[in-house]
Amino acid sequence: MILRRLSKKVNKAIKLNPAVVILGPRQVGKTTLALKQIDPGTKEILYLDLERPSDLLKLSDAEFFLSNQQVKLVVIDEVQRMPELFPILRSLIDENREAGRFILLGSASDKLIGMSAESLAGRVSYQELHPFSLDEVGNDRLTKLWITGGFPVAFQATNNEESFEWLGDFVRTYIERELGVSELKVDSIQLSMFLRIIASIHGQLINYSQLANVMQISMSNIKKYINFFEQAYLLRTIQPYHSNNQKRLVKTPKIYIRDSGILHYLRGINSIEDLEGDIIKGYSWEGFVIQQIIAMLKPSIQTYFYRTSNGAEVDLVLIKGNDPFVAFEIKYSNSPKITKGTTEGLTDLNCPYQYIITPNSEKYELRKNLWVIGISDIYKTLKELDLLNE
């Protein structure tokens, strides 16, 4: 079993809070984390899955049932499927504010946060579990992690073909299950088609009008589709950073498929040889590195990209407080060449820390205040800059 870095954060949180919410996509390992990598202390763990009829039956009188479980750490999976549970949890917690009473697992981000925040404000800690990251699986498995992505079953499959097959099943069933509990009025076939189109523009600016023309739907529906997949943790949009300088800045977000394995499945890629011959390679590497960084960041750190209409660009900008703090340019080369656009972007941002991330470079200073590092140095770098979520 691969030890999840988030387990330390969750173990700390359950010692301080009556409830902990662990967010993340389906099959990312939330249940395994809660049941196998959490220290409940002297308590017994009671696990309830709200997709299991027998557990739903136990909660037919939820207040009575849960009030009799005060000596246990109650783990409730897919909790967003029972919104009426949250006021009951609030009442039970207010009667006994002991830490470590409930762990709530869910796979619908805003919906779950909204329901829990309204009822459990001041009583809950939020933690997001991402797919496996490089610091969890080891630097020697970089290529495998990039190709298969970080969902545990896909990454730990016997071979890439099995991983590819699982990813296909996962995408199909994920869409159908999430669609069934969403308010989106569309069939799963159209959403699958939309996700494949997004795979072709992964890492690029969103052209809503062009997407609407291809899908033959309105731009407002395109935004609803994107929001659906963002809430399901499959897509990520990154906004452009707007400074007070007088340059003409791009105002359109970029879009990424969060997990590189899902991206590669949608592109028909299941080996490094396939990827080397695909035009998506550079964008895939960029998205993979961005996912590695975001998975390790403190929640307070904001992420943007920077681009101007005259070509100045930086792939990822970390904002600490209100100011640009770190700039990352991502290159799929161990001998990176700095373009004029990157130079201008780094100059515009004037971040105190600037890095170029490559697959395997040893750390060296390319010029004053601009360092080249390999992806394996990201963990150490974020820790040194006090940006690591730990």
Find the mean pLDDT for residues 118-141: 90
Smallest CA-to-CA distance from 339 within 359, 320, 315, 321 is with 315
Residue type (1 letter), 12: K
Indicate the pTM of the whole model: 0.93
pLDDT at residue 107, as a whole number = 79
pLDDT digits (tens, 9 = 90+) for 221-279: 999 999 989 988 999 999 999 876 656 777 899 999 999 999 999 999 999 999 998 99
What span, in angstroms and rounded, lies between the C-alpha atoms of 101 and 19?
6
Question: pLDDT tens-digit profile of 41-78?
Answer: 889 999 999 999 999 999 999 999 999 999 999 999 98
Question: What is residue 116's predicted lDDT score, i.e. its pLDDT?
Answer: 67
Give me the pLDDT at residue 183, please. Answer: 72
CA distance 262 to 276: 17
H helices within the chain, ranges in order? 6-14, 30-36, 53-58, 62-67, 85-95, 109-120, 134-137, 142-148, 152-155, 160-180, 188-200, 208-215, 219-231, 260-267, 272-276, 281-296, 340-349, 378-384
The position carrying tokens 């004053």 is 368
pLDDT at 242: 83
| pLDDT at 246 (0 to 100) | 58
Assign 111 a pLDDT band (cuts: 50, 70, 90). Answer: low
Residue matched to tokens 């941002």: 349
- DSSP per residue, 193-217: HHHHHHHHSTTEE--HHHHHHHHTS
Q: Per the CATH hierarchy, to which homologous superfamily does domain 6-128 belong?
A: P-loop containing nucleotide triphosphate hydrolases (3.40.50.300)
What pLDDT score does 109 carry?
A: 57
Cβ neighbours for 345, distance < 8 A, ≥ 6 positions apart: 306, 307, 308, 312, 313, 314, 327, 329
Looking at the chain, the whole-number percentage of residues with pLDDT higher than 70 is 95
pLDDT of 282-297, one tens digit each? 999 999 999 999 999 9
What is the three-class DSSP state of 325?
A: strand
**Rounded CA gap, 62 and 298, in Å?**
35
Sequence-ordered strand ranges (E) for 331-382 = 353-358, 364-367, 370-374
The residues of the chain that CATH labels 3.40.50.300 are 6-128
25: left (phi over 0), alpha (psi -120 to 50) or beta: beta
pLDDT average, residue stretch 122-147: 94
Angstrom distance (rounded) from CA 51 to CA 100: 23
Side chain identity, residue 270: N
